[in-house]
A and B are shown apart, each in its own frame.
Chain A
Amino acid sequence: MNRILVPIMALLAAVGLAVSAWGIFVVTPMEQTLYYSQKIFYWHVPNATMLFVAVFVCGIASLVYLKKRDARWDDIALASGELAVVFGAIVLATGSIWARAAWGHWWVWETRLVTSLLLWLIMVGVVLVRRFAGTGAERLAAGLAVFGMVDVPLIYVGVKQGDLHPQAKVVQTLDTGMRLTFWLSMATFLFLFVALLLTRIQTARAERQLRELHERGLDAGLLES
Chain B
Amino acid sequence: MTSSKISITGSRTSAGAAAGRTTAGVPLLRHAAAVAWKDLRVELRSREIVYTTGFFAVLLVVVFSFAFTREPSAVAGVTPGMLWVAVAFAGTVGLGRAFDREREGDTMRALLLSPAPRLAVFFGKATAIAALVLAVAALVAPLLALLLQAPLFEEPLPLVVCLVLGSVGFALVGTVFAAMLLRVRSRDVLLPVVLYPILVPMFIAGTKATAALVAARPDVAAAWYWIQFLGVYDALFFGISLWTFESLVIE
Contact = CB atoms under 8 A, between A and B. Distances in A.
A154 B236 contact: yes
A140 B180 contact: yes
A76 to B, nearest CB: 17
B233 to A, nearest CB: 6
Contact of B247 (A66, A128, A154): A66
A111 B183 CA distance: 37
A135 B182 CA distance: 12
B205 interface: yes
A140 B247 CA distance: 10
Contacts of A158: 200-201, 204-205, 229
A159 B204 contact: yes
Interface stretch (A36-44, A145-153, A172-180, A181-189): A145-153
B233 A162 contact: no
Q: Which secondary structure dominates chain B's binding surface?
A: helix
Contacts of A67: 247
Contacts, number: 88
B125 to A, nearest CB: 16
Interface string B158-187: 000000000000000100110011011110
Which of the listed residues A129, A139, A147 has the most CB atoms from chain B within 10 Å of its own CB? A147
Interface string B233-250: 100110010001001100
B194 to A, nearest CB: 5
A137 B248 CA distance: 11
Interface of A: 63, 66-67, 118, 121-122, 125, 128-129, 132-137, 139-140, 142-144, 146-148, 150-151, 154-155, 157-159, 161-162, 164
15 contacts: A133-B190, A136-B183, A136-B184, A136-B251, A143-B180, A144-B194, A147-B173, A148-B197, A154-B201, A155-B200, A157-B201, A158-B205, A159-B204, A161-B225, A164-B204
